[in-house]
Chain A
Amino acid sequence: MSAADLQALRTTLALAALTTLILLLIGTPLAWWLARTRARAALLLEAVVALPLVLPPTVLGFYMLVALGPKGPIGGLLQSFGLPHLAFTFAGLVFASTLYSLPFMVQPLKDAFAAVGRQMTESAATLRAGPWDRFFSIVVPLSRRGFLSAITLSFAHTVGEFGVVLMVGGNIPGETRVLSIAIYDHAEAMDYASAHLLAGSLLAASFLLLLAVYAINRRYRLVHP
């Protein structure tokens, strides 16, 4: 693997790891709220969260580019505080990826939280557990499979994104050049050997990751039917 490709691999992993971490922090309370609320506003929020599932990545990427650029609402705001705008930067990429992979974190978590059931948390409350205590000692352990799915899907989905990255990040080595772009470049340059190496490794890694997740889930299901 060439030095440039290794750099792309590092960028990709850093992007996916950081995005997944941020999603875990944002997605967990969001999914919890969506699973428990009876508010009408939840409907609207759910639709917004699911939007990246149906939207072409280039459409999302285009709007993100506009928003994060120097004249956009987000980039402009940052610049008015003396900060750099986010278009064609790693930070901008993380921002866009977080939005793009949001449903992959929220959906499995929401389903897992809903499956825990109100009676479990009410039971814990009668056993003197406060709200945070209930969440970490009852809800999280009972949602283990949901967390595993959500983390895997968010990570894998971020690794595989192309359209959004191309629009928002461009192709700056060491900054925004990720694996999927590198593969595209190799294929464009008719360097099929390099493309095969990257694409093949990505395929194998994805397959092994999913295999591991299903194996863990299966074991968990056998122990906790």
Chain B
Amino acid sequence: MSIAARFCIDWPGFSLDVDLSIPATGVTALFGPSGSGKTTLLRCVAGFERAPGGLLTLGSEVWQDQTRFLPTHRRAIGCVFQDAALFPHLTVQGNLEFGLRRIAAAERRVSLEQAITLLGIGHLLARKPERLSGGERQRVAIARALAVSPRLLLLDEPLAALDLARKREILPYLEQLHETLQIPVLYVTHAPDEVARLADHLVVLEQGRVFASGALAEVMSRLDLPRGEEDDAGVVLEATAAERDADWHLLRAAVPGGSLWVQDNGVAIGRRLRLRVLARDVSLALTHCDDVSILNLLPGTVTAIAESGHPAARLAQIDIGGTLLLARLTARSVHALDLRAGKRVWAQLKSVAVIE
């Protein structure tokens, strides 16, 4: 099953022209700088904006086509905005029940108790929204959206208004949600770390167009993605915990074509791990060095090198037996080592983050 979305909007100073097919499983991140159209795309999916001539189908269900436009309240969606948008005149309980009371009993696949437990808000039910912290408010908003048993969950920068501590408070709940409920999620964000942590699929938008769309690891390893000011280019690797080195508190994480030693976070051997390797933490050498502090040295082949931002900077893509890495280099190093596509190199990974 998949979600097909085709929208064309032409407003003064802004246009959106997308034709997307995304899997109706897991989390699809809509990523891009502000003004790239990611929120507008989400608003079209929610039915807040009418894009004439648009098309939106969820599996065999048509929500919009040439002749039909299902209004928002008839779409089986759940929606969470940047600022929770809880109803101030109702208690948390009242907010949670608002949607629940409006769906047929047969449609209830997520129970209120389940939503309350999942988001850990059982102790807040009697409170009014004004007595909640920002993080609590957002958790209630997520639970409220889940309580209508949506067939598609829309999250519009749900963490953007929160500080780092509050973000850390919510992220585990979002991850849990991902694992517990089989609800596809469209997740609008401009934060690469949220993408790396939560997304399975990635749609990159730029100036109202789809720049790239596909599996997270595949899209993240592209050299030509529009990058922001921050140097946060990097790849996400799906790995398996293969071996534990109890003496040094390390874990060997197997990826296609090799393995990486990472900090042992206590997961069971055989479990899936998600790793993030930033391009700025990867350097290249032509020979295997034995006398460096770096643990992870992997042989590979340069597949491409591209200019990146500053004229002194280059971004290289390296193939480690099927796993792609990105490396941030200077143009001078590229010249000095005569790096080009096809060249055999050793990738030195200074840091590998375990993010899941």
Contact = CB atoms under 8 A, between A and B. Distances in A.
Given A128-B73, A130-B73, A224-B130, A123 B85 contact: yes
Given A123-B81, A126-B145, 8 more contacts: A123-B79, A123-B87, A125-B72, A128-B73, A128-B148, A129-B98, A142-B87, A224-B130
19 contacts: A119-B81, A120-B87, A122-B48, A124-B87, A124-B98, A125-B72, A126-B72, A126-B73, A126-B78, A127-B99, A127-B145, A127-B148, A128-B103, A133-B73, A138-B87, A141-B89, A142-B88, A142-B89, A224-B130
Given A142-B89, A224-B89, A129 B78 contact: no
Contacts of A125: 47-48, 71-73
Interface in A37-52: none
Interface string B285-299: 000000000000000
Given A122-B72, A142-B88, A225-B130, A127 B81 contact: no
Interface string B129-142: 01000000000000
A123 B82 CA distance: 12
Interface string B328-351: 000000000000000000000000
Interface in B143-162: 144-145, 148, 154
A225 B129 CA distance: 11
A128 B130 contact: no
B235 interface: no
Contact of B85 (A120, A133, A141): A120
Interface of B: 46-48, 71-75, 77-79, 81, 83, 85, 87-89, 98-99, 102-103, 130, 144-145, 148, 154
Contacts of A138: 87
B87 A126 contact: no
A126 B45 CA distance: 11
A134 B48 CA distance: 14
A126 B77 contact: yes
A188 B102 CA distance: 63
Nearest to B97: A127
A129 B101 CA distance: 10
Interface residues of A, number: 19
Given A122-B48, A126-B78, A224 B88 contact: yes
A124 B77 CA distance: 12
B87 A129 contact: no
B145 A129 contact: no
B88 to A, nearest CB: 6
Nearest to B90: A141
A129 B72 CA distance: 9
A90 B78 CA distance: 53
Interface string A90-127: 00000000000000000000000000000110111111
A120 B99 CA distance: 13
Contacts of B73: 125-130, 133-134
A134 B102 CA distance: 12
Contacts of A142: 87-89
B144 A127 contact: yes
Nearest to B107: A128
B44 to A, nearest CB: 13
Contacts of B102: 127-129, 133
A133 to B, nearest CB: 8
B17 to A, nearest CB: 23
A1 B88 CA distance: 48
Nearest to B130: A225
A164 B102 CA distance: 49
A119 B48 CA distance: 10
B13 to A, nearest CB: 16
A115 B137 CA distance: 20
Interface string A37-78: 000000000000000000000000000000000000000000
A224 B87 CA distance: 11
Contacts of A119: 81, 83, 85
Contacts of A123: 79, 81, 85, 87
A183 B71 CA distance: 57
B141 to A, nearest CB: 8
A146 B73 CA distance: 27
Contacts of B154: 126
